[in-house]
Amino acid sequence: MSRQSFVEELEGAADRNAEMSPSNLKVLLRRAALMLRNAADGVDLEPKIEEILDGLAAEMDVSKAELIRTIVTEWLIANAYLPVFTIDEGCTTDGNG
């Protein structure tokens, strides 16, 4: 089941919660909890890549999510997709003169 169809199913359940059986509601809530737990990673990666990222995150003492965020940010900067602000050492600003 895709994430979008699951979201639609949850929204529908919220609209008709009086009609839903407790067991169906329980199943939906458990699936929602699993999706939220797994959303921390956010990206489906090959097991080999997951293993490497887990090792790097542990070595760098950061969460895997933070490591992925750093990698993506650095890649975007390196490939000119994000602006890089340079400091002009010769420029006079407040407090520098």
Portion of the chain with pLDDT greater than 90, in percent: 16
Identify the CA nearest to 57 among candidates 47, 49, 65. Answer: 65
Long-range contacts of 9-15 (CB under 8 A, 24+ apart): none
Task: State pLDDT tens for residues 62-79.
Answer: 998 899 889 988 988 888
Instruction: Return the HEC string of 34-80.
Output: HHHHHCCCCCCCCHHHHHHHHHHHHHHCCCHHHHHHHHHHHHHHHCC
11 and 28: one domain?
A: yes
Give me the number of domains the chain comprises.
2
* pLDDT of the residue at 39: 67
Residue 93 lies in a domain: no
Q: Which domain holds residue 27?
A: 1-39
User: What is the reported pLDDT for 60?
Assistant: 96
Same domain, 49 and 73: yes
Average pLDDT over residues 28-48: 74
Cα 23 to Cα 8: distance, rounded to the nearest angstrom: 19
